[in-house]
Amino acid sequence: MKGAPELRASILAWYDARARAFPFRASRDPWAILVSEAMAQQTQISRVVEKWGPFMAAFPTVEALAVATPADVLRAWQGLGYNRRALNLWRAARTIVEEHGGRVPEEVADLARLPGVGPYTARAVAAIAFGRPVGAVDTNVRRVIGRIAGGAEGLTEAALQVAADAMVPADRPADWTHAVMDVGATLCRPRRPDCGACPARAWCRYAAAPPTLVPTVARTRPEVRFETTSRWLRGRILEQLRAAADGIWTTIPGPLGTHDADAVGDALAALARDGLVELDALDPQVARLPLA
Does 153 qualify as catalytic in the annotation?
A: no
The answer for residues whose C-beta is within 8 angstroms of residue 177's C-beta and 6 or more apart is 124, 127, 128, 135, 136, 168
What is the pTM for the complete model shown? 0.90
Please state which of the four CATH numbers 1.10.620.20, 3.40.640.10, 1.10.3720.10, 1.10.340.30 is assigned to the domain occupying 1-214. Answer: 1.10.340.30
Residue-wise pLDDT for 198-214, tens only, equals 999 999 999 999 887 66
CATH of domain 226-288: 1.10.10
Residue-wise pLDDT for 223-252, tens only, equals 889 999 999 999 999 999 999 988 999 999
Rounded CA separation 127/153 (Å): 28
Task: Give, rounded to a whole angstrom, the gap between the first and last alpha carbons of the chain.
Answer: 50
**Taking a C-beta distance cutoff of 8 angstroms, is the pair 252, 285 a contact?**
yes
Q: Max alpha carbon distance in the chain (Å)?
A: 68
**Out of 37, 63, 106, 157, which one is annotated catalytic?**
37
Tens of pLDDT along the chain (292 residues) come to: 656 899 999 999 999 999 999 999 999 999 999 999 999 998 999 999 999 999 999 999 999 999 999 999 999 999 999 999 999 999 999 999 999 999 999 999 999 999 999 999 999 999 999 999 999 999 999 999 999 999 988 999 999 999 999 999 999 999 999 999 999 999 999 999 999 999 999 999 999 998 876 665 666 677 889 999 999 999 999 999 999 988 999 999 889 999 999 999 999 999 999 999 999 999 999 999 999 8
Q: Where are the domains of the chain?
A: 1-214, 226-288
pLDDT at residue 166, as a whole number: 95
